[in-house]
């Protein structure tokens, strides 16, 4: 049994309060390996941003919970060594059961998501309540979810999204006691969010997807004033990475993500946590493909993972500064 406090981590309470008051969002970046974690920490130290390190079921299967926990502990020390003590949360992304959440809480996570969004409403309430009771007794914060996002969430694949019903949010938050709520307003998981044919072109020829449902977000904010809202599926699928992957032999389809301006607008409203995973995968893959193509004789992993880590760091810095608005808030 490890408490997150022993690891130097923080829960999300203070972070979210400041983010709501300040009109910005905390970046929630997924990590599975050392290079991703280094890039996240370097970027957040250099931009003086708080950060939520997200661990999915896929990450735990890939990397092992003990290693991930100790990597997060190391990240706290690493940030200090880089010159800035930033608030760091270790968060379970898309927890699928009480047992998974309990295991993570017992292993030093400071925040968990219980994703009961695929269950009927009453089951979602009961499961979320059970996790909240266990978590709050240990000062761990909990994110719940109402509404379903399209795309892949760990093992669950949803073909279609179901928007969050604003009329359910007060009841859900009141009955469960969650600290934050993930909602569905048009974002989706993965790199294939919108096909080009679903989009229109602006005056500069840039593809613009259907806008997020800000009307739903505003209605939720009215019903839950000052309550922390979370946006999943918020990668922007930058065209530079998609093009580079295709240019260097990847078979990625053309795809359009969530425009950065829409995320910035959401961050100024009630959204105080924005989840980004796929963009990191794209950035890393684009860089590795480029190095492999340009240096075919290279077989030292540091020679292609190093540049990929640098590309990732620059991408996260840009997100913190231009999209989340979290730079300078640590």
Just list the catalytic residues: 93
Beta partners for 54?
30, 91
Using alpha carbons only, how large is the chain's radius of gyration in Å? Answer: 19
Closest-CA residue to 234 (of 185, 268, 201): 185
Q: Which does 58 bind (CB under 5 to 8 A by kind): Zn ion, ligand G3H, ligand 13P, none?
A: ligand G3H
| 277 forms part of the interface with ligand G3H (CB under 6 A) | yes
CB distance 86 to 48 below 8 Å: yes
Contact positions with ligand 13P (CB under 6 A) in 120-139? none
Residue 111 to residue 93: CA distance in whole angstroms: 9
Residue 185 to residue 165: CA distance in whole angstroms: 10
Closest-CA residue to 144 (of 159, 161, 162, 131): 131
| 309 forms part of the interface with ligand G3H (CB under 6 A) | no
Q: Which does 276 bind (CB under 5 to 8 A by kind): ligand G3H, ligand 13P, Zn ion, none?
A: ligand 13P
In angstroms, what is the minimal distance from the CB of 224 to ligand 13P? 21
| 193 forms part of the interface with Zn ion (CB under 5 A) | no
Sign of CA dihedral 219, 222, 223, 229: positive
In angstroms, what is the minimal distance from the CB of 85 to ligand G3H? 28
Q: Which does 46 bind (CB under 5 to 8 A by kind): ligand 13P, ligand G3H, Zn ion, none?
A: none
Q: Which stretch binds ligand G3H (CB under 6 A): 14-22, 55-63, 102-110, 127-135?
A: 55-63
Tell me, what DSSP letter sits at residue 252?
A: P
Out of 60, 232, 313, 317, the only residue in the binding site for Zn ion (CB under 5 A) is: 232
Strands 156-158 and 207-208: unpaired
| 93 forms part of the interface with ligand 13P (CB under 6 A) | yes
Site residues, ligand 13P (CB under 6 A): 30, 93-94, 189-190, 232-235, 275-279
**Contact positions vs ligand G3H (CB under 6 A):** 30, 56-59, 93-94, 153-154, 189, 277
């Amino acid at each position: 049994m490890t408490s997150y406090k022993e690891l130097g981590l923080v829960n999300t309470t203070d972070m979210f309060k400041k983010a709501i008051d300040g009109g910005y969002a905390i970046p929630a970046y997924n990590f599975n390996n050392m290079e991703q974690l280094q890039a996240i920490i370097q970027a957040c130290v250099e931009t003086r941003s708080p950060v939520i390190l997200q661990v999915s079921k896929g990450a735990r299967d890939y990397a092992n919970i003990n290693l991930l926990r100790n990597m997060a502990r190391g990240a706290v020390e690493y940030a200090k060594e880089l010159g800035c003590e930033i608030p760091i949360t270790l968060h379970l992304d898309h927890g699928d059961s009480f047992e998974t959440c309990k295991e993570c809480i017992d292993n030093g996570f400071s925040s968990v998501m219980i994703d009961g969004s695929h269950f009927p409403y009453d089951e979602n309430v009961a499961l979320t309540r059970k996790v909240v009771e266990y978590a709050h007794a240990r000062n761990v914060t909990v994110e719940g979810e109402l509404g379903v996002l399209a795309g892949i969430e760990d093992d669950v694949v949803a073909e279609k999204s179901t928007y969050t019903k604003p009329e359910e949010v007060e009841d859900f938050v009141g009955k469960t006691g969650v600290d934050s709520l993930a909602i569905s307003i048009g974002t989706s998981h993965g790199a294939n969010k919108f096909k080009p044919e679903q989009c229109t072109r602006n005056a500069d020829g840039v593809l613009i997807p259907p806008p997020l449902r800000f009307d739903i977000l505003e209605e939720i904010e009215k019903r839950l004033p000052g309550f922390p809202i979370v946006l999943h599926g918020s990668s922007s699928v930058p065209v530079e990475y998609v093009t580079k992957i295709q240019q260097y032999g990847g078979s990625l389809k053309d795809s359009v993500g969530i425009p950065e301006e829409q995320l910035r607008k959401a961050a100024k409203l009630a959204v105080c946590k924005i989840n980004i995973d796929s963009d990191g995968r794209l950035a890393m893959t684009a860089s590795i493909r480029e190095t492999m193509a340009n240096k075919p004789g290279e077989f030292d992993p540091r020679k292609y993972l190093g540049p990929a880590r640098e590309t990732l760091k620059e991408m996260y810095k840009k997100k913190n500064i231009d999209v989340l608005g979290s730079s300078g808030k640590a």
